[in-house]
Each structure stands twice: as C-alpha cells, then as structure tokens.
Amino acid sequence: NAGVTQTPKFRILKIGQSMTLQCTQDMNHNYMYWYRQDPGMGLKLIYYSVGAGITDKGEVPNGYNVSRSTTEDFPLRLELAAPSQTSVYFCASSPTAGELFFGEGSRLTVL
C-alpha cells in the first residue's frame, strides 16, 4: 500500500540550479497537488491537477512548473533555484472530492 510517494526526501541545491521533485500515486486519484510549507507556517498551494493533461496554478506558482502526462505522476520542476524556495514540499492526491492523501514530504534547501 504505497499511496503517495515523493522523491527525493532531502536535497540541497545551489542558487541557480534546477531540479525535479517526483510524485507518484497508486490510488487512481484524479486530483493531485503540490504544496510548500515554510517553517512554522501552513501549507501553500503551488500547482494542482484535476486529471491527466490538465494543470492549474495555485497560490504561489512562481518559479515552478508541473506536468501531468499520466494519472499516476505529477512532477514539480524548480527552475533557477532561489533561497526563497527553501521549504518542505508535499505532494498529495485525492478522489474527485474528499480528503487529501499526502506524501511524506521533500525537504529542499537552496544555498
């Protein structure tokens, strides 16, 4: 029972580098999400997808890109990493309505 799987769990980037956070779910959920959580704060929605081929911006999309080529996968791309992107990133999925199922989080540090 894998649920939502995120990789990597930890990563350190230098300013200006790029990387992709991977997210896979095996529950056949239509909806998938990327959130970021800064220290001591709530979760901010970066991007979400309501199905394969469909993505939309959330509250804080600048500096990120996503794609949804399959139901299972929803990778988050960071281009030109900046210190402000140091955060914990959570991927989540849900059925059409209802609770979100979260991955374990990916801790990213940009130095």
Partner 1 sequence: AQKITQTQPGMFVQEKEAVTLDCTYDTSDPSYGLFWYKQPSSGEMIFLIYQGSYDQQNATEGRYSLNFQKARKSANLVISASQLGDSAMYFCAMREGRYGNKLVFGAGTILRVKS
Instruction: Give residues in contact with partner 1 (CB under 8 A).
Output: 31, 33, 35, 41-45, 48, 50, 56, 58-59, 88, 90, 92, 94, 96-102, 104-105
Q: Among residues 58 and 63, whose Cβ is nearest to partner 1?
A: 58
CB of 80 to partner 1, least distance (A): 26
User: Distance between CA atoms of 66 and 27, rounded to whole angstroms?
Assistant: 20
Peptide bond just before 8 cis, omega within 30 deg:
yes
CB of 20 to partner 1, least distance (A): 21
- Per-residue b/e over 10-38, b at no fewer than 16 CB within 10 Å? ebebeeeeeeebebbbeeebebbbbbbee
CB of 15 to partner 1, least distance (A): 25
Q: Among residues 41 and 80, whose Cβ is nearest to partner 1?
A: 41
CB of 76 to partner 1, least distance (A): 16
Contact status, residue 45 vs residue 28, Cβ threshold 8 Å: no
